Amino acid sequence: MSNPYQNALNQIKKVVQILNLDENTYRLLSAPKRILEVAIPVKMDDGSIKVFQGFRSQFNDSRGPYKGGIRFHPKVTRDEVKALSMWMTWKCAVLDLPLGGGKGGVIVDPKKLSRGEAEKLSHGYIQAIYKYLGPDQDVPAPDVYTNQEVMAWMLDEYERLTGRHAPGMITGKPLSLGGSRGREIATALGAYYVILEAMSRRRIVIQKTRVVIQGMGNAGANLALLLAKKGFKILALSDSKGGIFSPSGLDVKKVIRHKESTGSVINFEGAKNIKSDRVLEIPCDILVPAALENVITKKNARKIKTKFIFEVANGPTAPEAEPLLAKRKIEIIPDILVNAGGVTVSYFEQVQNAQNFSWEEKEIFQKLEKKMIEAYRAVLSLKEKYQTDMRTAALILAILRVIEAMKKRGME
């Protein structure tokens, strides 16, 4: 599989060429400002001590404090964390949030940890890097295999070490510790607003629009529910165990209940079981990868029969697949725009923490809708101006905004 950091560098190289920027600017945009690599000792339940390797990449803070999740996964690498921190920089800039980009990760298989071991690991990670975190320095959030509970442990450790309350040092917290209403469905809702805007611009009839979604986790399942409620026809859904397909459309609510009781979407009454990787090849109008990176590749790109790909997962389309899709007029609406609802409500969480006040859900959703639509329109207008694709246009928007902030600070 290609190196994600190299992919991220190739993306900015392309934009630097389009915008006719110089080598110095490319160099300034291409490396994280700081990358921390730490060893986290944890006393395991059996009395042995394991030392886990952790990272935090602080990519660019010219627009504001670093912002980005912490991932617990056995396949975390230094380069992956660097790439993700660069993409967070662009994502926050596309949404015009006053934030920079960061990302953290620990090499660990969380499924092999007891709850107590996971808690010690979370405390240990913060002990190792807390001096570099804070509401006005670097603000982590949940990512793959970290959740509200992990955020609560991390907040607690940070506050213990610094001796003061600082709820704005982390987002995705439980409501009782200063979390935001609406955070659980924010990513799906953000993607939903972008899909509706894209469909209405093209005057596409929702009831005739067929959707396929890969991944039935937080983002995929909530998006499936929202789209089904609006009248889209959900043709196929999948999770790690397999997929289901019904030409007349699936009852999403019932599928979710079925998954809750059986552990998977497969064997849903009235639907046909299909292999996980075949889901992407079902003819449809909207394809939503909402599970893993690099699922649309050179190998399967020719078999994909859709009009639009809305990237809810981070990096689901391998760079080599993009020209093959473009040739067949399949439009990709990129991750740094489509899945930015999560970080946008995380930003709202920080604002509420700073105000020591909590907003109503309705207010949060209205503000999110406005932000997502503004970002979509800004990307679309650059797409037209530069006669390019939506991903490149989103990167142009982000890079111009970051460069502007860097210049104003005197960095040229």
Active-site annotation, residues: 103
The residue among 292 and 405 lying less far from ligand NAD, judged by its C-beta, is 292
CA separation for the pair 7, 64 (Å, rounded): 25
C-beta of 167 vs 342, nearer to ligand NAD: 342
Burial pattern 263-301, b for ≥16 Cβ within 10 A else e, equals ebbbebeebeebebeebbbbebbbbbbbbebbbbbeebb
- Select the residue interacting with ligand NAD from 291, 301, 382, 403 (CB under 6 A): 291
Q: Which of 17, 114, 240, 262 binds ligand NAD (CB under 6 A)?
A: 240
Burial track 212-231 (b if 16+ CB lie within 10 A, e otherwise): bbbbbebbbbbbbbbbbeee
Q: Does 89 bind ligand NAD (CB under 6 A)?
A: no
Q: Is 214 in the site for ligand NAD (CB under 6 A)?
A: yes
Q: Which two tokens stand for residue 377?
A: 């329109």
Phi, psi angles (nearest 5°) of residue 63: -95, -10
Q: Is 179 in the site for ligand NAD (CB under 6 A)?
A: no
Among 344, 342, 354, residue whose Cα is nearest residue 178: 354
Dist. CA 258–CA 164, nearest whole Å: 45
Q: Are strands 101-107 and 66-73 parallel, antiparallel or unpaired?
A: parallel
Interface with ligand NAD, residue 249, by CB under 6 A = no
Binding test (CB under 6 A) with ligand NAD, winner from 53, 137, 246, 276: 276
Measured from the CB of residue 146, what is the shortest distance to ligand NAD in angstroms? 10
Instruction: Check residue 191 for interaction with ligand NAD (CB under 6 A).
Output: no
Residues of span 309-368 touching ligand NAD by CB under 6 A = 312-314, 339, 342
Task: Give me the residue label for tokens 């207008």.
Answer: 381
First vs last Cα of the chain: how many Å apart?
35
Q: Which among 44-52, 98-106, 173-181, 287-295 is the span making contact with ligand NAD, rule CB under 6 A?
A: 287-295
171 lines the binding site for ligand NAD (CB under 6 A): no
> Minimum CB separation from ligand NAD for residue 262, in Å?
13
Secondary structure class of 142 (helix, strand, coil): strand
Q: Binding of ligand NAD at residue 15 (CB under 6 A)? A: no
Look up residue 403 and give its two tokens. 């460069």
CB of 80 to ligand NAD, least distance (A): 12
Q: Which one, 15 or 291, has the nearer CB to ligand NAD? A: 291
CA distance readout (Å), 125 to 41, 66, 85, 320: 9, 17, 17, 36
Beta carbon of residue 265, minimum distance to ligand NAD (angstroms, whole number): 8
Our CB check for ligand NAD shows the closer of 128 and 312 to be 312
Tokens of residue 362, six digits: 């309705």
When binding is defined by CB under 6 A, the residue of 216, 227, 271, 368 that contacts ligand NAD is 216
Interface stretch with ligand NAD, choices 49-57, 236-244, 375-383, 392-400 (CB under 6 A): 236-244
Residues within the interface to ligand NAD (CB under 6 A): 187, 214-220, 238-240, 276, 290-292, 312-314, 339, 342
